[in-house]
Structure 1
Amino acid sequence: MDRKHVLITGGVGGIGVELVRLFAQAAYRVSFTYRPGEESRQRAQALLDEVGEEGMHALELDVGDRQSHARLMDTLSLPLDIVIHNAGVGTKTVERAAATYKEQDEVFFRVNTLGPLWLSEDVIPGMLARGHGKILLMSSVDGGITHFPRFRAADGMSKAAVAFLGRQLAATYACTGIDVFTVCPGATDTPMFQASTLDALSAEQRRLLEASLPGGRLIAPREIADLCFYLCRDEARILRGAVIDASLGLGVCPAVMG
């Protein structure tokens, strides 16, 4: 029996690393992307060394660049059974890509929204031809479910657009074999949340923040990866089209982060 093939964008940090580990442990063929740059390339190689290179491929992708998508599709081993749009930028990590607020606003949409749209458009024809496929989009509780005024408007807007994209794709392909899900994580212990929130806090401030969250703690990246893995199972088809609040209750009680 052929091994299923999953493509994971943003595979070298936070939730992405846990996704790569989980699908590799389950004997999937795993292709994952990393952003251009020597540091990211080294992290990708370290992850390959950890999980083993058999059936694994690390591919460079600038998610916000259309030509980079074209190069990815030229080098990617097809067919794909699953695509997980995990790559993204946040309120602080966007500063690595652009200096000014106006430029950063454009990066939010090119990386968080247009990148998943372009890649979905690239892979859906093959999924339709084979009669099956799964697409998972990673939005956020900020934008996908509710809003937090202290974060950048363009950040939340781009994540709200991801949730819309998930609904749009799900509706467009509802009568096909393609399942579409959108996951909206909350306060997750990732480098992105570290940069946007935790780095500015003392140890005591972090303790108080975590205690104030509805679940009393941060979400572990592996928890989100486990949810995504479940959504890729046949049993999850009853949820096809769903925009899932995976925030440990923050989405229904946003005032604590407001």
Structure 2
Amino acid sequence: MTPSAKTCAIITGTTSGIGAAIARALAAQGHALLLVGRREDAGRELADALRAEGTEVVFHAADLSDSAAPEAVIKAAIAAFGRVDILINNAGLLSHGRAEDTTDAVWNRIMDVNLGAVFRLSRAVLPALRAQGGGAIVNIASDWALVGAKGAVAYAVSKAAVAQLTRCMAQDHAHEGIRINAVCPGDTDTPMLAAGLTGRARAEALARYGANIPMGRVGTPEDIARVTAFLTSDAAEYMTGALIPVDGGATAD
């Protein structure tokens, strides 16, 4: 592909749910996209659909727990589009369990994917953003980064660490025009929520989750994508280091 003059956004975890919705939102803003994910068939299907709508898009298959993956992702974006302007760190894993139920293997896997991969990719993209005179990183954290969580210690701690990584890197790179913010979704209607349930059982489970949220429903991937897209835009040019809950008011008390 001939390098594009359009701004380029890298989005991880794009093969379903929030990542796919963010890809559509940034495509609507006119960015060229490098989509990153592990499920190659689903990733290429989304890329083909966006390409049919006029978006310049490439899918790059990667396992972000591989320490070599970040450099390969950045090189793929520059090879395709000649630049990188935006990074969306969305890929992550969910786990349940109290501390005594969480093995070292589970703890290490969650920390490596949810935190380590975000750190490594954010570190790797800095030279490319600096070369453009600035840019934006948006990390998808969780409302459990902001409050305690029952029965999900590894996941909640990993997302809290992403929140702190966001604030620290925002301070380190604000003078370079690199803005780094985090979106903190609450319960959102994705394959991860109510996993394994379908049809009426899934609808009932989502309704139960929604009943505990002040706005009376769980979020949609589009709810999260709209706020993420805002943070990449010029409308948010004076925002960095922000942790924005998008949770229907669940953390408002």
Counterpart position of 2:219: 219
The one-letter code of the counterpart of 1:76 is A
Aligned to 1:106: 108
Measured against aligned partners, the alpha-carbon deviations of 1:125-173 in whole angstroms (never above 9, x if no partner) come to 222233111010111011x21121122x111111011000000111101
Q: TM-score, normalised by structure 2?
A: 0.87
Q: What residue number does 1:150 align with?
A: 151
Is the aligned partner of 1:2 residue 2:5?
yes
Q: Deviations over 1:58-89 (max 9, x none)?
A: 00121111022233234332410000001000
Matches within 5 A, 1:60-209: 60-77=61-78, 78-91=82-95, 101-142=103-144, 144-151=145-152, 153-195=153-195, 204-209=204-209
Using the alignment, how far apart are the partners of 2:25 and 2:191 within structure 1?
A: 19
Q: How many residues align?
A: 239
Q: Give 1:108 shift.
A: 0.8
Tell me the residue number matched to 1:97: none
Find the aligned partners of 2:234 and 2:14 in 1 and give their Cα distance. Answer: 23
Aligned residue identity for 2:40? R
Q: Distance in 1 between matches of 2:159 and 2:115?
A: 7
Say whether 1:26 aligns with 2:29: yes
Letter of the 1:67 partner, please give it.
A
Gaps of 5+ in 2: 97-101
Is 1:49–2:48 an aligned residue pair?
yes
Cα distance in 2 for residues equivalent to 1:202 and 1:79: 42
Identity across the alignment (%): 29
Give the distance between the partners of 1:85 and 1:136, measured in 2 at CA.
6
Offset at residue 214 of structure 1 (A) = 1.4
Q: What one-letter code is carried by the residue in structure 2 that aligns with 1:91?
A: S
Structure 2 distance, partners of 1:26, 1:202, is 33
Alpha carbons of structure 1 residues 197 and 113: separation in structure 2 relative to 1, 3 Å: farther
1:62 alignment partner AA: D
Give the AA of the match of 1:89.
Answer: L
Could you say what secondary structure the match of 1:195 adopts? coil
Q: Aligned partners of 1:212, 1:5: CA distance in 2, in Å?
A: 38
Q: Deviations over 1:35-57 (max 9, x none)?
A: 1xxxx111012112211165101
**Structure 2 vs 1, CA of residues 80 and 196 (structure 1 numbering), >3 Å: closer, same or farther?**
farther
Q: Is the 8 A contact 1:9 1:85 kept in 2?
A: yes
Instruction: Determine if contact 1:166/1:181 at 8 Å carries over to the other structure.
Output: yes
Q: Which residue identity does 2:69 align to in structure 1? A: S
Q: CA deviation at 1:14?
A: 0.6
Give the root-mean-square deviation of aligned CA atoms.
2.2
3-state secondary structure, aligned to 1:3: coil
The CA deviation at 1:197 is: 9.3
In structure 2, C-alpha distance between the alignment counterparts of 1:86 and 1:56, rounded to whole Å:
17
Structure 1 Cα separation of the partners of residues 205 and 44 of structure 2: 36
Name the TM-score, length of structure 1 as normaliser.
0.85
Look up the equivalent residue of 2:93 and give its one-letter code: V
For 1:223, give the aligned amino acid: D
Asked if 2 retains the 8 angstrom alpha-carbon contact of 1:62 and 1:69, the reply is no
1:141–1:147: 8 Å Cα contact kept in structure 2? no
Show CA shifts across 1:169-223 (max 9, x none). 1110122211111110001111122329999x67545433322221100101001
Aligned-partner SS, 2:194: helix
Looking at structure 2, the residues matched to 226 and 189 of structure 1 have their Cα atoms a distance apart, in angstroms, of 15
Deviates more, 1:168-177 or 1:201-210: 201-210
Q: Secondary structure at the match of 1:33?
A: strand
How far off is 1:2 after superposition?
A: 3.1
Q: What CA distance in whole angstroms lies between the structure 1 residues aligned with 2:24 and 2:60?
A: 16
Shift in CA distance, 235/244, structure 1 to aligned 2, threshold 3 Å: same
Secondary structure, counterpart of 1:167 in structure 2:
helix
- One-letter amino acid matched to 1:224: I
Is contact 1:82-1:232 (8 Å) kept?
Answer: yes
